[in-house]
Amino acid sequence: MYDWNKHHDPEPIPPPERQYAHKKLERTAERVMESYGKGRCFWIIYAVLSVLLILLVALLTTRYGNDFTVPAVIVAAVIAHVVLLLGLAEIFYPETFWEFRHTFTVHNGEPTDWAILSYRLSGVALILFTYITVASILF
């Protein structure tokens, strides 16, 4: 009788130095999350993104003229920050968003990996949408 395992070795596992770059990045992100905590990382990234948003607004309003009133720019910045917070929250807490969406339809359920990925991708899309919208409005 032909013994498959005797003649066909299983696929070798690559050494750690040849693993994919995204796995290394994922492990680094996990270590940072463990050392700082998820909440602290969330607020640090939010602070960096909001400073970049404020700099973008300041750059575009000063470079291309002051056709906008101050209250209009403040309202636009506040709305942009709310959308920015929602996008970051979807990236950091996709399980919470899934539970919120399925509160009345699923009992004791858990999100699939696809659901978590789609919430994280929509968070990235919201952040990009925020910057593109602010730039296009003020440009």
Q: Residue 17's pLDDT is what?
A: 54
Lowest mean pLDDT among 5-9, 78-82, 134-138: 5-9
Q: Residue 92's pLDDT is what?
A: 86
Helix, strand, coil percentages in the chain from 3-state DSSP, rounded to 5: 75, 0, 25
- DSSP letter at 81? H
Backbone phi, psi, residue 106, to 5°:
-130, 135
Q: What is the mean pLDDT of residues 64-91?
A: 78
Q: Quick: pLDDT tens for 83-131.
A: 888 888 888 888 888 888 888 888 888 888 888 889 899 999 998 988 8
Q: Report the share of the chain in percent with pLDDT over 90.
A: 3
